[in-house]
Amino acid sequence: MNRPARVQSDRNRRSLPTFGIYVLEILRRFIVEISRRCTTVQASNASKVMENARKQSSEWVARLNADDVSEEDREAFEQWRSSDPSHAVAYEEITSTWLVFTSLRSS
């Protein structure tokens, strides 16, 4: 008679020494914790990258809208914006906000 897979799995698990099961459980928990921490660190790093890109973007918006903006400034900006995808995204966010405020000021 064939037993269900779960029963066979439980039977195999019981055949391992108790110490082996304990080690496997510790390894499983360790892997889960490392995965959680890596995800947290990655999210934190991404947040810091975007925060820095937004700060730089706001500086670029101010510089590019200044009366004394030069062609060198514009070229440096284009180089900065194309150097990282987060720069372009942050610049679009800041520019949208800038346009809203300047349109309100004009009204």
Q: What pLDDT does 26 receive? A: 77
Global confidence as pTM: 0.58
Q: Where are the domains of the chain?
A: 5-106
pLDDT in tens, the chain (107 residues): 455 555 455 555 555 566 667 777 777 777 777 777 667 767 777 888 888 999 999 999 889 988 999 999 999 999 999 999 999 999 998 888 888 777 776 66
DSSP sequence for 46-76: HHHHHHHHHHHHHHHHHHHTSTT--HHHHHH
